[in-house]
Amino acid sequence: MHINLKINKLDNQGRGISYYNNKIIFIYNALSDEEVEVEITKETSKYYLGKVINIIKPSDKRVKPKCMYVDSCGGCQLMHLSSEEQHIYKKNKLKDILYKYAGIDKNITFIESDKEYNYRNKVELKVHNNTYAYYNHDSHIEVDIASCLLASDTINEIIDYHSFMNIKNGDITIRSNYQNELLIVINCDKFEFFNEPPANVVGIVVNDKTVYGNNYFFDIIGKYKFKVSYNAFFQINNYVASEIFSILNEHIKGDTLLDLYCGSGVMGISLKDKVNKIIGIEINKNSILDANDNALLNKVSNYKYYVGDTSDVLPTIEDKIDVVVVDPPRSGLNAKTLNDILYIMPKQIAYVSCDPITLARDLNILKEHYNITNIYGLDMFPNTYHCESITVLERR
Ligand SMILES: C[S@@+](CC[C@H](N)C(=O)[O-])C[C@H]1O[C@@H](n2cnc3c(N)ncnc32)[C@H](O)[C@@H]1O
């Protein structure tokens, strides 16, 4: 069924919001103030989902998306919005969520990415008989692609030229680094080499076994070099990650730093000149092995990394901690970890977050004891609705 609607505003996932039959409707690929013809794609008791069939009155903020897969892939929810307006949208989204869920009304400094495209050092794709596809998380459809505008040029070269290997069914993760090397991780039913890989492929891991080269490589963020293991988390936009390091260095200073959810140790290590000791906690064993190597590589003199769940490990730490950096997954801090941080009561906390809603939930508790001195939004993921942030808190 097709209906004509006027769009009120964008929701937190970059979808246009309107109302139909007294129910809210979320519309993909629509912008604020536009009049659009919509096809309803789903109806539940509480809401409709729809997609734009025809734009009757377009927004002057609309631009033509550069990607030919934009309508089917679903990964770039804001590519039809000019980059200036994407920044405004993300900054306002962060501000509105922090006000709505935590009563925080504070100026936000917004940091842009150096690149709008080709900024990703990692992509994850599905593979079926050597055809590579993105998985659309909304439609649950796989979209065959020959390149991705968000991925680095080096990644796109290997997506284009992958005929040296045969992958039946599975998924592939491709990472590139500062010297255009590639680290490839595959999980699949059947794998074989047809030819020698290109010279810049430094490692291929299939079903957790290294079948070519190494299972790690090195990358650079700012002035630091890091080892990145095949299954460890690593920041995907190197420039914006270096901006995170600068912001942390501007605000955080102390004796003993706790780097919670530390991954390969990158954020703590970036603060090595601002603290005397770094303690890191991380659940992924390979990340912790990397963190130890990275501390040595970057000449950190005093550090200790613990592998395990933050909830279990944090209560066992006996050091006197005075500054904390947290960079949790989207779910944010759980209640136990929040309590443990409040028990430590460090003088400063920097909360790095990729989900404003869980951030607001956690700040609502932390703000009872802390003043929020600075909030930064960072465009880590241009053309998507995602917004990275850093909140700096000082104990009262
Ligand atoms: C957003 S990443 C941040 C990593 C790191 N700070 C960085 O900048 O590279 C979140 C990290 O938390 C880890 N993690 C997830 N749940 C955890 C838990 N319950 N306890 C400890 N670490 C966890 C993940 O493995 C991942 O490395």
Ligand 1 atom 6: residue of nearest CA: 262
Q: Please enumerate in sequence order all residues whose Cβ is within 8 A of that of 339, keeping only pairs 6 or more positions apart, or say none.
A: none
Name the pLDDT band for 96 (thresholds 50, 70, 90).
Answer: very high
d(CA 212, CA 139): 35
203 CA distance to ligand 1 middle (Å)? 24
Which pLDDT tens digit goes with each residue over 214-236? 999 999 999 999 999 999 999 99
195 CA distance to ligand 1 middle (Å)? 37
32 CA distance to ligand 1 middle (Å)? 35
Q: Would you state the pLDDT for residue 138?
A: 82
Ligand 1 atom 27: residue of nearest CA: 263
Of ligand 1's listed atoms, the one at least distance from the Cα of 234 is: 9
284 CA distance to ligand 1 middle (Å)? 8
Which pLDDT tens digit goes with each residue over 314-373? 999 999 999 999 999 999 999 999 999 999 999 999 999 999 999 999 999 999 999 999
d(CA 79, CA 62): 9
pLDDT at residue 139 greater than cutoff 90 = no
Ligand 1 atom 17: residue of nearest CA: 283
328 CA distance to ligand 1 middle (Å)? 5
Give the residue among 161, 156, 172, 171 at the shortest CA–CA distance from 195. Answer: 161
263 CA distance to ligand 1 middle (Å)? 5
Mean pLDDT score across all residues of the chain: 97
CA dihedral over 18, 20, 23, 28, signed as positive or negative: negative
Assigned fold of 2-62: OB fold (Dihydrolipoamide Acetyltransferase, E2P) (2.40.50)
Mutate to test the pocket of ligand 1, among 243, 260, 266, 282 (most ligand atoms within 8 A of CB): 282
Pocket of ligand 1 (CB under 6 A): 233-235, 261-264, 266-267, 281-284, 287, 309-310, 327, 329
Mutate to test the pocket of ligand 1, among 283, 312, 324, 389 (most ligand atoms within 8 A of CB): 283
217 CA distance to ligand 1 middle (Å)? 19
Of ligand 1's listed atoms, the one at least distance from the Cα of 334 is: 19
pLDDT at residue 392 greater than cutoff 80 = yes
**Tokens 């002035």 label which residue?**
223
Indicate the pTM of the whole model: 0.96
Ligand 1 atom 4: residue of nearest CA: 263
pLDDT at residue 263 greater than cutoff 80 = yes
260 CA distance to ligand 1 middle (Å)? 8
325 CA distance to ligand 1 middle (Å)? 12
211 contacts 87 by C-beta, under 8 angstroms: no
384 CA distance to ligand 1 middle (Å)? 22
pLDDT at residue 137 greater than cutoff 90 = no
CATH no. of 86-115+237-395: 3.40.50.150
Helix (H, G, I), strand (E, B) or coil at 324: strand
Ligand 1 atom 18: residue of nearest CA: 309
d(CA 38, CA 3): 5
Which pLDDT tens digit goes with each residue over 238-251? 999 999 999 999 99
392 contacts 373 by C-beta, under 8 angstroms: yes
DSSP 351-396: EEES-HHHHHHHHHHHTTTEEEEEEEEE-SSTTSS--EEEEEEEE-
Which pLDDT tens digit goes with each residue over 178-192? 999 999 999 999 999
Mutate to test the pocket of ligand 1, among 233, 234, 269 (most ligand atoms within 8 A of CB): 233
Which pLDDT tens digit goes with each residue over 112-127? 999 999 999 999 999 9
237 CA distance to ligand 1 middle (Å)? 16
DSSP 325-361: EE---TT---HHHHHHHHHH--SEEEEEES-HHHHHH
Name the pLDDT band for 312 (thresholds 50, 70, 90).
Answer: very high
Of ligand 1's listed atoms, the one at least distance from the Cα of 259 is: 6
Task: Give the C-alpha distances (Å, rounded to integers) separating 189 from 142, 170, 205.
Answer: 18, 7, 14
